[in-house]
Amino acid sequence: MANTTTVTRGRGPSPSPGRRRKNAGRARASGLPVWSIPYVLLIPGLLVIGGLLLYPMYQLIVMSFQKVGLAQVRGSRPAEWVGLDNFQRIFDNEIFWSALRNSVLFALFAVSLTLMLGTAVGVLLHRLGRKMSLFVVIACMFAWAVPPVAQGVIWRSLFDAEAGMVNWALNLLPDWLAAPPAGQESWTGTPWLNDTLPLYIALIVCVVWAGFPFIAVSVLAGLKGIPAELYEAAKVDGSGPWHTFRKITLPMLKPVFAVLTMLSIIWDFKVFSQLYVLMNGPTNRDGFNLSMYAVAEAFRPPQKLGTGAAISVVLTIILLVITVFYVRQIVKQEEM
């Protein structure tokens, strides 16, 4: 007789007695209790996580309490424990606070613009036909697939002072709409990437351009899960597009937006590669963010790896606090 499967309330189908005996036999053959098998299967993944994430993080924390330079890295001199001196040194440095300000303001504008543009494109994709939607998704994902260093190279060339497309386009506009800077007859020669404000405008454009496709596709996936009957009922009631979005789409996509906001903050708060390329290295101290400041302290002569590690630890703590806050918000929304 074929094995049968029984169904228990709240637990789904339960294995037949023959299958339970077979599983128990396999567990005995392995010499392990049945309850321990799932935990044993997790060991390889935990080892990989520990080797690639936890151990380097431990080394970073240890280094943040030490004075580490090239001599210590080469092994010719042991590292010297300095306690909280590295943290005290960075907190007393004005560059740290300007870098923190730049990181916060950049993340605020970049995350907001990325979410708004990505949401708008996601709604547009949901309204397009199947073929056109697929074409736009593929076109957008090309931007998202570009590596960060290549993103910086592309936008550095576009904002180039002499041959950049940005200055060329501004020269085509009438003076009443885009007048050249004082003392210049045209926009040609305007050094966008030398000053902090235009540098971060270029960085925001670069990051938003590369980040909105992921938001758009995620929003599109969320929209596919909203019942069409809700929109039909709203249309019958005479609800307009904006009112429908506020009352139906936005509440239904709150969990999606919470996750996307958390990920965007983490990615944008620690952006480095694009800024490094646009800035052409850690040259403008006023334009540092926390990631650039950590690299400059750790690898520019004289190398102060302990100070760079302390900055990285502070950045990690900030991101952990933000992550915990948003995870709590997500959990609260799930419980409601």
Q: Transcribe 191-257 into DSSP letters.
A: -TTTSHHHHHHHHHHHHHHHHHHHHHHHHHHHHHTS-HHHHHHHHHTT--HHHHIIIIIHHHTHHHH
pLDDT for position 1:
43
pLDDT value of position 8: 45
Question: What's the CA gap between 114 and 318, in Å, rounded?
Answer: 21
pLDDT at 9: 44
Q: What Cα–Cα distance (Å) separates residue 318 from each residue in 200, 270, 295?
A: 21, 10, 18
State pLDDT tens for residues 267-292: 999 899 999 999 988 888 899 999 99
Q: How confident is residue 316, by pLDDT bands cut at 50, 70 and 90?
A: very high
Domains annotated for the chain, with CATH where assigned, are 11-58 (no CATH), 94-335 (1.10.3720.10)
- Predicted TM-score (pTM) of the model is 0.82
Answer yes or no: are the C-beta atoms of 245 and 235 closer than 8 Å.
no
CA dihedral angle for residue 123, residue 128, residue 132, residue 137, rounded to 10 degrees: 10
- Residue-wise pLDDT for 231-250, tens only, equals 888 888 777 788 888 888 88
How much of the chain exceeds pLDDT 90, in percent? Answer: 36
Please check the confidence at residue 16 and state whether its pLDDT lies above 50. Answer: yes
Residue 106 has pLDDT above 70, yes or no: yes
Among 112, 10, 58, smallest CA distance to 309 is for 58
- pLDDT tens per residue, range 164-209: 899 999 999 888 888 888 888 888 888 889 889 999 999 999 999 9
| Residue whose tokens read 């790896």 | 305
